[in-house]
Amino acid sequence: NLSLYSVLAFVALDTDGNRVFAKYYKPKHSPHQFSDVKPLGTLKEQRAYEKSLWEKTKKPGGDIILYDGLLAVYKHSLDLIFY
């Protein structure tokens, strides 16, 4: 899907997988309305997704991952991981 709304969230986690900062975006016309990917609307869903994403990316080495139908770009920096 090549829509204008490409970024769904910006998240920073510490090295233990705890949320430091998170900002989720929900465009008026969600690009996921016709897809199988469910939006992360509640805090519980967001925290669960962040924890599972951290489990996959906690070891340095990669920069991009397709996880749960969403493309995640991430960068390790000292004691934080930015998504």
Dihedrals φ, ψ of 67, to 5°? -130, 125
Element (H, E) at 24: strand 19-24
pLDDT at position 68 over 60 = yes
Contact between 54 and 72 (Cβ < 8 Å)? no
pLDDT at position 6 over 80 = no
Given the candidates 3.30.450.60, 3.40.50.1370, 1.10.3810.10, 3.30.230.10, the CATH classification of the domain at 9-82 is: 3.30.450.60
**Cα(80)–Cα(78) distance, integer angstroms:** 6
pTM of the model: 0.75
Q: How much is the average pLDDT of 30-34?
A: 52
Q: Which residue has the higher pLDDT, 10 or 38?
A: 10
**What residue ranges do the domains of the chain occupy?**
9-82
Q: How much is the average pLDDT of 28-56?
A: 74
